[in-house]
Structure formats: structure tokens, C-alpha cells
Chain A
Amino acid sequence: MNGSNHNPVEGVGLVVRGLHKSFAGEAVLRGIDFTVQPGEIFVIMGPSGSGKSVLLKHLIGLEQPDAGEILINGEPVTRPEVAAKYRMAFVFQSGALLNSLTVGENVGLYLTEHRLKTADEITKIVAEKLADVGLKDELDKMPSELSGGMKKRAAIARALVIEPQLIFYDEPTSELDPVSAVVIGNEILELNQRIHVTSLVVTHDRDLAFGVADRIAVMAEGRIVTIGTPDEVKHCNDPRVQQFLHAGLQREK
């Protein structure tokens, strides 16, 4: 998250051990354990209310756990110097672009606020990153003028400016049509191949999960039910996993 120490991009590993969190006495996370390898695309799936987004907020430091630890390359993320050492980016479900700024200003915000580059360099980097996500003509538009898919791609461009070693995606394809969802899925894959960033994707979109994941974890009721490769998860016998993977409408004749 800090720009003072920009090394060449290289994915980092993430370890989560025994993570617990309750809100007003209600347990939301009940002991989460998993490991993400450097450069891996790790997908967390699960039904709504299973605790996926809360888990993601803990990983980026927006929430503090009641118990448990989160390690990046073996160092606890709760220590400010560790959070400053590694570059992490978060792509929000809504995009979370600042509505008072143009798309270009949003994408360059990190560099502008931390004064990491000159104004000319920032303009050039912003144009490059927007071109990477197919939005080079939208530089001067306001976020309200963009479609849902474009907002998410602009949010990805904003994350790329950080030159992240670890990207978190929160429901990147929610509220998108199937074509836009495929575009976002391809962006995630392409980024991973191009800059070897470690990606952690939270989603309940089965197509996206099985399309991009190296490994998948399925969550239910604040716990991880199973972790494995897409094939292993597909053949998991747990009824909650099977119900989630095969849920569908059946019209009576």
C-alpha cells in the first residue's frame, strides 16, 4: 500500500491462520485457515452471508480480527511497517471510484497523493493503465458517466497504478452482463500472466471462479468447507459445496 519502496512487481504469499471475527456477539468468521502461493490466483467462493467480504476486509486491514493472524511473506500484516513494505490493491465490488474526481484523476490518485511522480509522469502512467484495461478514451469522464463494467475496469486500472504484489478483488463480476464478466475475468488472468501478481478473488460467480482459479476455497457459515484445484472442488462430496455448485432453477412441466 505504500509507494516509498517500489520494487519490480513480484507476487507475495499470504497465510491466514485461525481467523475469528464477531459483530455484536454474532460470529461471522469461525476459524479461517488457508495459504495463497506467490503468483497464484486464489478464489474464495460461497453463498451470500458466508463471510467472504468480511474476510477480504481483514486481509486488506480495513477490519481487525478478534483472533488469528494474517501473514504476508511470513510477516504479520497488522504491523504498520509490514503493511508499508508490500504493495497491495483492492478492487471493490462497486468500483468505489471517487465520484468527485474524473476517471483519470481517480486512477492517478495514489501517485498524486503520495507525490511519487511528476505531473507529466502521472499523466503518462494513467494513460497507459487505462489503455491496458481498454478505457483510454474515458480519461476525462466522471465515474457517473461510466457503465458498471467500465467502472470495474477503471478500478482495476487504479489498482494497477500501485504496481501491486497482491490484488484483492471483491465480487468483480457482480451486476455485470455475461460479456462484461468475461472481459473482467480475462483482465484478471492477463494481469496474473503479465506481472505475476498474486490475486485473491472473492466471488459467487461459478463461471468466473472455475475460469480463472488456480485453487478455490468454498466458504459457508464463516468456515472454509473445502480448498483445492477447480477439479478437486467440483468432485468434493460435501453437500454444501455440491448444493452451491449445482444450484439452478428447474421449471415444472
Chain B
Amino acid sequence: MFENCGQFIILFWHTLLALPQTWRQRQKVKEQLFEIGNASLLMVCMLSFFIGGVVALNFGPPLVERSFTNAVGGVVGLGLAKELAPVMMAILIAGRIGSAMTAEIGSMAAYQEIDALRTMNINPIYYLVLPRILALAVALPMLVVISVLVGWLGGAVVANSNHLMEIPFQVFFSDLRDIVDLSDVANGVFKSFCFAIIIGVVSCHQGLATIGGPRGIGRSVTKAVVNSIVLIVISDYILTRCLLK
């Protein structure tokens, strides 16, 4: 994977240089945004609700037992906003959307469609890579905001309904508001923006680098998902360290 990092950086740089083409490619960006939202929204909501619930279930009873009831909302709120929502949603999108991007671009590479674009003087970075990375960079932070809100709701429902906690909704959200700042949510949203760039660059690169037929496409998809997840986890540590107050 690490031998590809230089190529990821080069592709990212070429995509940055292609940014002035954004307005011309706006229709494709819209199509990609619809694809990402349509394919992921329901799953994001479901996953986030249960992640919030599990966090409340794991940390709530020990905190209540030690008389830290007012910390439950904060732990769920902070955990979701700063860490769980950005990372879990990025992994979900890498598996759900990144893999589809690699398969689509990979099959275009395998069946000479990308060569056909080049012979028509159409730059594949403008036509294929830029709209996908831009759409991911817009969609993932939005999905993370939705994930944080739904996750908090899941945590509140579990904290309220579980007989070991029985924390009223109003108290849960009041405690959450005392600990969680808007900057904490912004912190998670910024991380998710970086993860979106990673997923887009890695997925498009693996697609463009596909050689061979269906087996080659399968190999590229696997590599794209694995590389994306590894880079998300590594960059998560680096970003968290950099964003520490």
C-alpha cells in the first residue's frame, strides 16, 4: 500500500489543479452527490442510532453507578461527534461508495473506455476523478452531521429506556450541551472532510490503475477498500493529535 502513497499524492495534486473545471463538471458532481446520498442515508441513520445506543449502554451504567450521571450525555455526545461518527461513517462510505467508484472506473479502464476518453482529448481526471472526489468531500461531512444527531438520539433513547440509567431526555441533552461544544462537532466534520479526500483519491487511483479483466477489477476494489480503511485509521490519529487543544 505504501508504495502507492506517492501516486495518491500525485493524483490529489492533479485533482487540485483541475478544480477550476468544477463549474463545467457540476452536473456530474450533482449526479454523484445523489448517488452517495441515496445509497447511504438510510444505512447511516440506522448505524448511527445503534452506535449511539451502544455507547450509552457501555458507558452509562458504570457512570451512573459511580454517581456521574451527568457525564453520560457528555460521553455519548463527545464520543460520537469527535470520533465515532467521522470514523465509522468514513469506513461505511469506503466500503459502500469507494468500492463502487473503483469498480466503475476499473471496468472503464479494463474495457478501454478511459483510453477512448484520452483519444478524444478528454482528461479522465476532469471527467471521472474530480466530480467523485468533490461529491465525497461535500457528502461525507453532511452525512457525519446527520450521523452525530441520530447517534445522540440513539444514546438518549437507550439512556432513557435502560433500567440501569433511566435518564430523562431533557437531562441527557442538557448534560450533553454542557460538555459538547460546537467546535467539537466542527472537529469531527473537518476529520470527515479529510477522510472523504482519502477515500476519493484512493478509490479513483485504484480504479485508474486497474489492469486485466474481472479479476483485476476485483483486486482493485479489495485494495481500494483496505487501503482506504488503513489510511483513515492512521490519519485519524494524526488529525486527532493535531486538533488537540
Binding site for B on A (CB under 8 A): 1-3, 57, 60-62, 84, 88-90, 92-94, 96-100, 109-110, 113-115, 158, 162
Contacts and interface: CB of A to CB of B under 8 A. Distances in A.
B127 A96 contact: no
Interface residues of B, number: 16
Contacts of B108: 98-99
B122 A113 contact: yes
Which of A88, A100, A113, A158 gathers the greatest number of chain B CB atoms within 10 Å?
A113
B113 interface: yes
A1 B113 contact: no
B112 interface: yes
B120 A98 contact: no
B113 A62 contact: no
Contact of B119 (A3, A84, A90, A100): A90
Nearest to A111: B120
B117 to A, nearest CB: 8
A7 to B, nearest CB: 16
Contacts of A109: 120, 122
Nearest to A87: B121
Contacts of B104: 100
A89 B111 contact: no
Contacts of A162: 120
Contacts, number: 54
A92 B115 contact: yes
A1 B121 contact: yes
A60 B119 contact: yes
B127 A89 contact: no
Which of B115, B117, B120, B127 gathers the greatest number of chain A CB atoms within 10 Å?
B120
6 contacts: A60-B119, A62-B115, A92-B115, A98-B116, A99-B108, A114-B121
Nearest to B116: A96
A173 to B, nearest CB: 17
Interface in B89-139: 104, 107-108, 111-113, 115-122, 127
Contacts of A115: 24
Nearest to B31: A100
B112 A92 contact: yes
Nearest to A93: B112
Contacts of A84: 121
Which of A3, A92, A96, A109 gathers the greatest number of chain B CB atoms within 10 Å?
A96
Which of B112, B117, B121, B122 gathers the greatest number of chain A CB atoms within 10 Å?
B121
Contacts of B121: 1-3, 84, 110, 114
A94 B111 contact: yes
